[in-house]
Structure 1
Amino acid sequence: MPIRPEHRFFYPIDWRELSISIRFRRAGGRCEACKRPHGQTVFHLGDGRWWDTEAGAWRDGRGRIVRVATGKVDVLARVRRTQVVLATAHRDHDTSNNAGANLAAFCQRCHLIHDRPEHRRRRWLTLFRRKALGDLFRGPYA
């Protein structure tokens, strides 16, 4: 994932090489949470289950092989496609902590799930600031 220009100075100069090392040498080009392969299009059901063509089986959101029941619900009607792109994430959300144990190779889905609490916190802060600025310049809300 691209780094915003205003956040670029938080990352080390060799971040690109470090990220490549984590994603392709250590993780082997697969997401460390769900095992999705980088650069491939995978079929998924939208709830975390996806089709692993190498194993010839469905996997859940944690990369474990699961069975998909073909009963009353038409599973193939729910299938969607996603292009998988790996990114290196900080497990503790601290961009200055670049220890190998703190970095993980995540696909888009797992990265968003991992960052969800941080995104919620930032969203709340943004809305709080907007409301404070509105109170400051336009008076309190009705």
Structure 2
Amino acid sequence: MPIRPEHRWLYPIDWPEITNFVRFVRAKGRCEQCRRPHGHYAAQLADADGVWWDRDARAWCDGRGRPLRSQPAFVALENIRMTRRPVYLATAHLNHDPSDSGRRWRNLAAFCPRCHMKHDADEHRRRRWWNAFRRRAVGDLFNGRYSD
């Protein structure tokens, strides 16, 4: 995930080395939440919550990377919706604070895009609310109050 220019100063100068260590040495090239491998395409059932095909284990896995006890029930083959997406690991801040990246590596985790978005969902919701609040405040300042 690219770093925004306004947040670049929060990261240490050796951030590329830190993120490579977290993603490929510590996590061994797999998501630390669901175990999806970096650089591979993951076949995922569109309707199931995170069910995906692990090609190395040759099994369907759940959203936490564990093989399913029973395989997904395919009712009709023409109704199956699957997505096939590339998996590129990103280093996530577990406490959403990029300023302590260099000091505490326990705060960092290697996540696939799905797990990263799930982890950051509350933070994204908060930022979306803040941006909308800020836009309305600026509009109120210059254009008068919005009508409900």
Name the TM-score, length of structure 1 as normaliser: 0.94
Q: Residues 124 and 73 of structure 1: is their aligned pair in 2 closer, same or farther, counting only changes over 3 Å?
A: farther
C-alpha distance in 2 between matches for 1:75 and 1:34: 28
Selected match of 2:82 from 68, 79, 101:
79
| Matched position secondary structure for 1:12 | coil
Which residue matches 2:28? 28
Q: CA offset at residue 72 of structure 1?
A: 2.7
1:86-142 superposed Cα distances (whole Å, 9 cap, x missing partner): 000110011122212110000011111111111001000000011111111111122
Does the 8 A contact of 2:74 with 2:80 survive in 1?
Answer: no
List aligned pairs for 1:10-89, cutoff 5 A.
10-46=10-46, 47-66=49-68, 67-72=70-75, 74=77, 77-89=80-92
C-alpha distance in 2 between matches for 1:53 and 1:75: 22
C-alpha distance in 1 between matches for 2:24 and 2:39: 12
Stretches of 4+ aligned residues off by more than 6 angstroms: none
Which letter does structure 2 place at the counterpart of 1:3?
I
| Matched position secondary structure for 1:32 | coil
Structure 2's unaligned 5+ residue stretches are none
C-alpha distance in 2 between matches for 1:121 and 1:72: 39
| Matched position secondary structure for 2:60 | strand
Structure 1's unaligned 5+ residue stretches are none
CA-based RMSD: 1.5
Name the TM-score, length of structure 2 as normaliser: 0.90
Q: CA offset at residue 77 of structure 1?
A: 2.2
List aligned pairs for 1:98-113, cutoff 5 A.
98=101, 99-113=104-118
Which residue matches 2:93? 90
